[in-house]
Structure 1
Amino acid sequence: MTNSSGPGPSAAPSAAASAAAAGAASAAAPADPEGQDRLAKAVRAAEQALIEFEIAVESFRVEVENFSRLHHQRLGPMYARLDELDALIAEAVAAHSGDRADIERAWEARALVMPMPGIEELFGGLLGADGVRPVEDPNPPRRVRPGKEAQRLYRELVRKVHPDLAQDDAEKERRSTFIARVNEAYAYADEDALRELSAEWEAGPAPEQDLPSEAEVLYARLEWLAERKEKLAAVAAELDESAIGQMMRLAPEDPDALLNEIAEQLLTQVSQREARLAELVHGASGG
């Protein structure tokens, strides 16, 4: 991905920083207070690098998921309508010609058609503003990529409350529960909810920031951070190589515009096929 909020090249420096910090910490022998202090600083740097990378991956995951849902909601009915029209056209051709090859093609086209609403239900007074009947969804995303203000609020909040900053299991569980609410609000670009969550966190107990001083714990922490970074990188790669991720590469700066462009193309194809079907039907009735 090349967009600024996805975990593509723009997010790679965060992952590299995490690995670099781990390497630097391994070289800092904690035989004296100064060496252990350098190790602690390296751990904190690796934590922050990992958090930044996780923010990028989660932001991209939200975009891919929203794009997929909007693609299904807005374009699914049009794809279904095109399949139905192809079958109707093939059947009309077969009925006119009586040719066995045409009849077989009609059977094949009909076999590809999934059960779908009739045209009256699909297009008769139930269309959205963009000309497509929306699929029912109690909480549909407003767009693929949350707005700049939602992105800013989300990043600031995650940097404060991320579970990786916790130093004990109870605090980590509290942060994990809270961050799930933050992610949900961000997925729907709910700026008011993000502001409320920020105020709620500020009013709560102060997060524990002190890191353990034992060298063994710090080294174990670095190993965990490295493993976590690898898992996140795998998630990012899977998202990027998915069918939706590859489609989003076509318009990295404005994926919503890509959906609109595809919708316009499909509507044009629907109109063309409907005109073709009308010609076949009228020709058959005239003959």
Structure 2
Amino acid sequence: MASVPGPGTGGRRNPYAVRVTNPEAEQVDQAASQRLAKAVRAAEQALIEFEIAVETFRVEVDNFSRLHHQRLGPMYARLDELDALIAEAVAANSGDREDIERAWEARALVMPMPGIEELFEGMLGQDGVRPVEDPNPPRRVRPGKEAQRLYRELARKAHPDLAQDEAEKERRSVFIARVNEAYADADEDRLRELGAEWEAGPVLEEELPTEAEVLYARLEWLAERKEALSVIATDLDGSAIGQMMKLSPDDPDGLLNEIAEQLLEQVGAREARLAELVRPAEG
């Protein structure tokens, strides 16, 4: 829509000038704006789904790591200690210089305090492994199906990336942090309570801006956010725990049990070997 200056106005707006409109151009602009808005909405939903996937994987990696440390860490420590004791027993029996050096090397890896066996007495479990205390251990690596469903529904509804202003984004961020914590604990009741809390909250406007520059800026931000998430996902996938979880992606809890059984067998075998080495000396 344009104003045509009249003669003698020196370029100033003439109140009597005829205003010319181009309905076809306006329709084209409106159609382009609608397509851009649709593209932004699609990009938002794609980003949210990707962020949900990254967060659920992060929870699983974190839970696996904590359970691995709690359940298997003592077994690895016990194996190292048994290796040192076996090497020392072999060196004591043979008196060979190479055996003595190997014993020193094995002991250096463990670096126990004096009287380590006395310190362990009464603190080892029946399997000879000292437990590690975790004040808030996860129930399992992967939360149940219902917890996953509740989490995904809440994340899709209340995700901060849907906010159109900083105040609303902050409110959603605080809420989603509580949702993530409940999901990490596999607390279905708390997730349901959070769902009811969200539904009872203020009704939020879902309309997106129509200005092209704002929409383009939004698309750029979404692309940058996805790139940042991709880096996080790659780091998680390439981590030692992530690589270990690939051995059994469908049952990570079963993988922990399998590794624990293998380690217990190794502990038993080393304890038997140590008993054979020290028995003659005791006799």
The two structures have a TM-score, normalised by structure 2, of 0.86
State the SS of the aligned residue for 1:229.
helix
Consecutive unaligned residues in structure 2, runs of 5 or more: 1-26
Is it true that 1:251 corresponds to 2:252 in the alignment? Answer: no
2:219 corresponds to which of 208, 213, 222: 222
1:158 equivalenced with 2:163 (yes/no) = no
The 5 Å alignment of 1:197-212 reads: 197-212=194-209
Which residue of the partner structure matches residue 17 of structure 1? none
Which amino acid in structure 1 is aligned with residue 272 of structure 2?
A
Instruction: Tell me, yes or no, if the aligned pair for 2:78 and 2:129 is still in contact at 8 Å.
Output: no
- Map of 2:20 onto structure 1: none
Q: Which residue of 2 aligns with 1:77?
A: 74
For residue 189 of structure 1, what is the amino acid of its counterpart?
A
Larger radius of gyration: 2
> In structure 2, what is the equivalent of residue 270 of structure 1?
267
Pick aligned residue for 1:140 from 103, 114, 137:
137
Runs of 4+ that moved beyond 3 A: 114-119, 131-134
Q: What is the CA–CA distance in structure 2 between the aligned matches of 1:114 and 1:187, rounded to whole Å?
A: 36
Counterpart Cα distance in 1 of 2:55 and 2:125? 39
Q: How far is the alpha carbon of 1:137 from its aligned partner?
A: 1.8
Alignment of 1:158-197 (within 5 A): 158-197=155-194
User: In 2 relative to 1, CA 80–225 (structure 1 residues): closer, same or farther, beyond 3 Å?
Assistant: same
CA 1:280–1:61: 2 relative to 1, 3 Å = same
Identify the residue that residue 120 of structure 1 maps to in structure 2.
121
In structure 2, give the amino acid aligned to 1:250: L
Contact 2:125 2:131 in 1 (8 A): no
Q: Provide the alpha-carbon RMSD of the alignment.
A: 1.8
SS at match of 2:44: helix
1:32, distance to aligned residue in structure 2 (A):
1.2
> Which residue identity is paired with 2:68?
H
Cα distance in 1 between the residues matched to 2:74 and 2:169: 44
1:74 aligns to what SS in structure 2? Answer: helix
Mapped to 2, the partners of 1:266 and 1:161 lie a distance apart of 44
Shift of 1:164: 0.3
CA distance in 1, matches of 2:147, 2:110: 41
The number of residue pairs the alignment matches comes to: 254
Give the CA deviation at 1:271: 0.5
Q: Does 1:108 align with 2:105?
A: yes
Which residue, out of 86, 94, 98, partners 2:95? Answer: 98
Give the letter aligned to residue 265 of structure 2: T
On the 8 A contact 1:93/1:102 being kept in 2, the answer is yes
Equivalent residues of 1:74, 1:132 under 8 A apart: no
Deviations 1:173-207 (A, max 9, x none): 00001100000111111111101111111111112
Could you tell me the percent identity over the aligned residues? 81
1:55 to 47, 52, 56: 52
User: CA–CA distance in 1 between the matches of 2:129 and 2:43?
Assistant: 47
User: Can you give the 5+ residue segments of structure 1 that lack an aligned partner in the other structure?
Assistant: 1-29
**Residues 124 and 73 of structure 1, relative CA distance in 2, 3 Å threshold:** closer
User: Aligned partners of 2:129, 2:142: CA distance in 1, in Å?
Assistant: 21
